[in-house]
Each structure stands twice: as C-alpha cells, then as structure tokens.
Amino acid sequence: MSGAEKFHNVIKILTESFQVDDEAIDELREILERQQKQIVTTKQAEEVGRGLITIVETLANGRTIIVKRNKNL
C-alpha cells in the first residue's frame, strides 16, 4: 500500500462516524489482557477506550463518536 493510500485510509476513518458497542469494548479488554498479561475489567477497558476515542475525536476535528452500550455487561 502506498503512502497516499494509507493517508486516504486514515482520512476515511477520521471522517466517518462509527459506533463502539459492548463487543468492541470486550475485544479491547482481551487485547489489553494479552499486552499486560493480567486481568483487565470491562470498566478498565472502557476507560482506555474512551481515552482512545478522545484522541481520535481530536484528530477528527471534533467530530463526535457515539458509544453504544448494552445493559447486559
């Protein structure tokens, strides 16, 4: 993939609206557990995820990212 293609992929990601659901938070929790080699709670993963969302929103010039939660977790 060329540099221009990578750039366009990043711009596409930053300009589209996307939603974060419980499944995405659980996937992030699993990634964090593998990286940290310790148990990570759903709440901890959600806090990390919110931090990542803040970074992406800042890079996306304030576009809002919607977090959608099921009440089952």
Contact 29, 36 (CB under 8 A): no
What's the pTM?
A: 0.59
Contact 53, 7 (CB under 8 A): no
Taking only the tens place, the pLDDT of each residue in 39-69 is: 999 999 999 988 887 887 787 776 666 666 6
Provide the percentage of residues in the chain whose pLDDT is more than 70: 64
Specify the amino acid at residue 58.
T
